Structure 1
């Protein structure tokens, strides 16, 4: 079934059903039916067509969570556009690269965020766009699309720090959503609290699509705020919540009676985007009486592996391959390794993207005989449960966001007084890891305050090094490769 046909089971088949409520800071709550989104997205699709957008054209959006993101996504599906979600925490350097590489017709953003968009980029104000579309007819506007039609270009950094766009098709999103909605037993009676960002595949490919597939109700918030989480859970009474480990760590701060009441209504709590500490898994079970379901996915593949809905949700593991995904654990030669032996995780299935945008060499390097090489290192137990043990690269995962050290290192090396730089992940009890920079500097010209200020204008907040550690030399091999394991251990306050 085509993706739009699947959406129509809610957009048309449940047109009068309450679909979404949106929490806006300091503003009245907005409510919508599925029929409202059908009409809104039709009007927007008509406007985008009037502005010259055709099937295959790129359209970026740089937006906080809001109903207009849903309108854009549905209009993109109907017109066969290639949508480019952009992380709202990105700043000049990251934005310039993504928008230059993807070359969208325009970027849809809000007035308060437009200033971050590089000069020379076509900007469409989201509120003006919505107001203009509201005056157009609500009849369905759609292009013929098939499952192989590209739907989104989502950027994920490579080990060299060069951000690559994964070309995700309607088939990728359809297969992912179908599997998760079925395996996680979603129904139209569920209530989904959506606090994850819609620019990320966790909130977009999982949350948004399962909502549309199942016809459940969703409360959308602009972002996750731990100070408001208890109020949201008490007021909305969700049956389903998707989060990253940092969110679950914050939720452990609630008093036991309140946590137990929330857990009694919560039939499914899913964690992903970063490793969930086994300790947090167990503490949440004890406090809430609810067992977190940890799963594993990537931008390039959407979801690959997950702990079962019915069955053991084993702490420290990502579970078993999903029904639509084949998984191998391979050695460096691409041969399967025995259970209990560490190797690289390879996957194959309709969830795997069509390749990297305009990067044939990167695409060729990541695929082998139809299998996608994830770069993640894992081990499979005799009963099939898979445990991830790290990255083939030096990836840092902080609060669910990917950080590749090379990007930060290159920017540090541009700063006055910095002679050498290397960035590593340091354990953090809330975010999992945070970046720490080791520097060889010229003390006469290096100004730490100025460098910190410069980095804040160039990089997202989660990429900011939490500390600068000055060293006399960075350990390297004879060939010049940094030996990060030989760096002095950093502890807060040292």
Structure 2
């Protein structure tokens, strides 16, 4: 099976059903049926073929959320062309790395974004491409692709170094879509508000694919906007939202009446891409009447774990393994840890990527062959409770070793976020001549923050070596487009004498 076969459940099976509502350039909204989407993508697939783009070629997508992104994605899936999404916030240096590594036949973008594409790269304007495709036939277009053919090369966010291209196959995406549609009970009765960027696997591999498989209606917006959100929820009668923690923090700013009206019509809020603070989960449930379902995935693996749709959605936890996914938690010696002990998460399953594009070294480092198969090292730390719930404890590279003792920043951050006046917090290790490293907290605070009282609260809950040696106040924490904190971009801190 290939992705086209899965999407045909809606493109062909629900051809006359309204599929998507979107904003047009003039500010008005328009809608398309699944059949119209199918026809549009068939025309584009033929245009790509006419331009010499063939199965296995790469095509860069440097595009914001817009209906033409969907058209072009479907065309590439049908034609066996490998999609290379590019973050629209990236600029020439970052884009240049991806273009040089993936070597796409062209980068498809807008007139406004085209100047950021490095010189020498072939650039195709999306509006001109759409206009040219109008003369092509809209008859069915299908190639005999294999499930293990690459569908996309998704570059990691590069929070610790240069981005690597995760090679995601048709089977990877099919597994993921099938799992989330089944486990989160997504159906054609749902109305999905698509506010996440389609250049990210959260918006693409979860949102777009679940919509196409389930046949629900989608309201596509360019980006999340808290000022416009209440109107979107009301006008579209949204029932399903995939978000990141920053979206849910912003939604908490709405009035109680706005929250009540949104909660009344909603069925499911899902959160991922970054840890959801427990206090945000509790506050959201109190205000909106819904408990957010938190899950855990990666660019390289799509969805690995999820809290249950039915059953306890545990604060701070990412639940259990998805169907077909196996999870192990191992210590530094590669041995399983006991319940309640922290180790690195290893995963195995049909959701795991085929490796890193043109990086055999990185692929060899990330995959570990065992007697029962090949396991992917996530680099994330976690612990398993007695009843099987798994809680993430940060990245392995975030581990702070102070005087021989291990410090897990996530543990400290969770306590800090419960303290008055702290809106955001991240803990990092800084070099220290005597202890090796010391924990330092970077915080975004308001006027109620009291450093002395916060330090005392930490002393009451932690061993002395875990108490932050300093609190560095910043206006905001540097984040990726999906909300992951970029610790390497934090301002430096020097040990006080």
| Band the TM-score falls in, shorter-chain normalisation | 0.7 to 0.9
1:143 maps to: 143
Q: C-alpha offsets along residues 452-475 of structure 1, whole Å, 9 cap, x if unaligned?
A: xxx9xxxx998699874574xxxx
In the alignment, the residues of structure 2 paired with residue 372 and residue 464 of structure 1 have an alpha-carbon distance, to the nearest angstrom, of: 24
Q: Structure 1 residue 386 and structure 2 residue 390: aligned? A: yes
- After superposition, the Cα gap between the structure-2 partners of 1:468 and 1:80, relative to the gap in structure 1 and judged at 3 Å, is same
Return the offset for 1:26: 5.2
Q: Is the 8 A contact 2:110 2:127 kept in 1?
A: yes
Aligned 8 A contact 2:12 2:35 in 1 = yes
What's 1:426 paired with?
A: 442
Contact 1:11 1:35 in 2 (8 A): yes
Separation in 1, partners of 2:491, 2:367: 37
Q: Is the 8 A contact 1:264 1:290 kept in 2?
A: no
**Counterpart for residue 6 of structure 2:** 6
Spell out, residue by residue over 1:61-90, the C-alpha distance to the aligned partner (whole angstroms, 9 max, x if none): 100000111111111111111110000000
Change (3 A) 1:288 1:79: same
- CA deviation string 1:255-289 (max 9, x = no partner): 11220121111110000000000000000000000
The alpha carbon displacement at 1:426 in A equals 3.2
What is the DSSP-based 3-state SS (H/G/I as helix, E as strand, rest coil) of the residue aligned with 2:397?
A: coil
The alpha carbon displacement at 1:189 in A equals: 1.1
Deviates most, 41-50 or 151-160 = 151-160
Distance 2:47 2:39 in 1: 13
Rounded to whole Å, the distance in 1 between the matches of 2:367 and 2:445 is 35
Counterpart in the other structure of 2:127: 127
Question: Is 1:155 aligned to 2:141, yes or no?
Answer: no
Could you tell me how far apart the structure 1 residues matched to 2:311 and 2:329 are?
A: 23
* Equivalent position of 1:17 in the other structure: 17
Structure 1: segments with no counterpart, 5+ residues: 398-402, 406-423, 431-454, 472-486, 490-494
How far apart are 1:342 and its partner, in Å?
0.3
Counterparts in 2 of 1:193 and 1:379: CA distance versus 1, 3 Å:
same
1:250 and 2:250 equivalent?
Answer: yes
CA contact (8 A) 1:60 1:84 kept: yes
Report deviation, 1:236: 1.4
Contact kept in structure 2, 1:241 and 1:270, CA below 8 Å:
yes
Q: 1:251 to 1:24 in 2, by over 3 A?
A: farther
Which residue of structure 1 lines up, in the alignment, with residue 276 of structure 2?
276
Secondary structure of the residue aligned to 1:227 is coil
**Stretch of structure 1 that moved more, 1-10 or 353-362:** 1-10
Alpha-carbon separation, structure 1, partners of 2:190 and 2:75: 25
What corresponds to 2:171 in structure 1? Answer: 171
Deviations 1:159-197 (A, max 9, x none): 751210000000000000001001111111110000000
- Conserved 8 A contact 2:159-2:487: no
Task: Tell me the SS of whatever aligns to 1:353.
Answer: coil
Structure-2-length-normalised TM-score: 0.81
* 1:3 CA drift (Å): 1.9
Aligned CA distance change for structure 1 residues 359 and 429 (closer, same or farther; 3 Å): farther
In the other structure, the counterpart of 1:223 is 223
For the 8 Å contact 1:23–1:219, the answer to whether it is kept is no
Q: Comparing 284-293 with 69-78, which one deviates more in the overlay?
A: 69-78
* Residue 199 (structure 2) aligns with: 199
In the alignment, the residues of structure 1 paired with residue 15 and residue 351 of structure 2 have an alpha-carbon distance, to the nearest angstrom, of 29
Per-residue CA distance 1:333-379 (angstroms, 9 max, x = gap): 22111111100000000000000000101101100010000000000
Relative to structure 1, the CA distance from residue 52 to residue 334 in structure 2 (aligned partners, 3 Å threshold; closer, same or farther) is same
Q: Does 1:332 align with 2:336?
A: no
Note if contact 2:160-2:488 (Cα within 8 Å) is conserved in structure 1: no
Q: Is the 8 A contact 1:308 1:319 kept in 2?
A: yes
Partner of 2:65: 65
The match for 2:464 is none
Distance 1:464 1:89, change over 3 A: farther
Q: Structure 1 residues 356 and 196 mapped into 2: Cα distance closer, same or farther (>3 Å)?
A: same
Aligned equivalents of 1:289 and 1:131: distance in 2?
Answer: 46
Matched-pair contact (CA < 8 Å) for 1:187–1:214: yes
Within the candidate set 377, 380, 400, 1:376 is matched to 380
Shift in alpha-carbon separation, 1:292–1:160, aligned structure 2, 3 A: closer
* Cα distance between partner residues in 2 of 1:111 and 1:158: 26
What's 2:341 paired with?
341
**For residues 367 and 322 of structure 1, what CA distance do their matches in structure 2 show?**
20
Query: What is the aligned partner in structure 2 of residue 211 from structure 1?
Result: 211
CA distance 1:295–1:25, change in 2 (3 Å) = farther
Q: Is the 8 A contact 2:274 2:484 kept in 1?
A: no
Partner of 2:312: 312
2:173–2:351 CA contact under 8 A, matched in 1:
yes
Which runs of structure 2 are paired with 1:465-476 in the superposition (5 Å)? 468-469=491-492, 471=494
Name the SS for the 1:49 alignment partner.
helix
Counterparts of 1:68-87 in structure 2 under 5 Å?
A: 68-87=68-87
Distance change in 2, residues 1:214/1:96 (3 Å) = same
Aligned counterpart, 2:289: 289
Give the distance between the partners of 2:158 and 2:486, measured in 1 at CA.
15
Give the whole-Å Cα distance in 1 for the aligned partners of 2:338 and 2:10: 45
Looking at structure 2, the residues matched to 147 and 294 of structure 1 have their Cα atoms a distance apart, in angstroms, of 29
The alignment covers a number of residue pairs equal to: 422
Asked if 1:233 is matched to 2:249, the reply is no
